[in-house]
Structure 1
Amino acid sequence: MLANYGFSATLTAMPGMGGRLVDLLLTGLNEGSPGASEHCVVYLVSRSASDPDVIHVTEGWTGEEDHHKIFAGEAAQAIVTQIAGLLAKESEYTDYVPVLGKTAF
């Protein structure tokens, strides 16, 4: 399945909370969570090499509507609520339309 819609986000955790934010974001891969959806074809959580409290998330979805539908669900909103309590500032998002790439997870 190809990603036809995606985005990247940069999230800055409160000082010392980067590990907790990473752990929380990784729950997005659990059964019933957004990243486990058949419509989510890329879900990558990364940490900044220079600041452990800066986390990058890259997601690729089968379509923008699929993403919005899953993101509006109870599981996704529960994660979003928990994330908000860990952030030092507003997250930065960039949406995009994937052209071609490779994943080998």
Structure 2
Amino acid sequence: MKSDYGFQATMTAKPGMGNELIDVLLSALEPGKPASSEYCVVYLVSRSASDADVVHVTEGWTTEEDHHRVFAGAPAQAIVARVQELLGASTGTDYTPINGKAAF
């Protein structure tokens, strides 16, 4: 399935909370959660090699509308709320995927 919308976020957890932030983000892959949606074609959680509290998330979605619709749902909002509790700071950007590969 092709991704026409993407999002990348860099999040800095509160000191010592990087592992918990990663756990919450990875919970999005569970059945019924946003990253398990057929519309989410890429979901990659990475940690900074130099700071265990800095986490990167890369997402690819079939369309921007699909992303917004899925994230408006209760399962996604619960994850977003928990992530917000763990954050010290975050930045993010939308993008339009061109081509690439995602295999995990």
| TM-score bracket for the superposition, by shorter chain length | over 0.9
Which structure 1 segments of 5+ residues have no match? none
Cα distance in 2 for residues equivalent to 1:104 and 1:64: 22
- The within-5 A match list for 1:1-105 is 1-89=1-89, 91-105=90-104
Which structure 2 segments of 5+ residues have no match? none
Between the aligned residues of both structures, percent identity stands at 63
Q: Paired residues, what number?
A: 104
Cα distance in 1 for residues equivalent to 2:31 and 2:56: 22
Question: Deviation above 6 Å: which 4+ runs of structure 1?
Answer: none
Note the aligned Cα RMSD (angstroms).
Answer: 0.5
Larger relative strand fraction: 2
| TM-score (normalised: structure 2) | 0.98
| TM-score (normalised: structure 1) | 0.97
Question: How big is the shift at 1:14?
Answer: 0.4
For 1:79, what is the secondary structure of its paired residue? helix
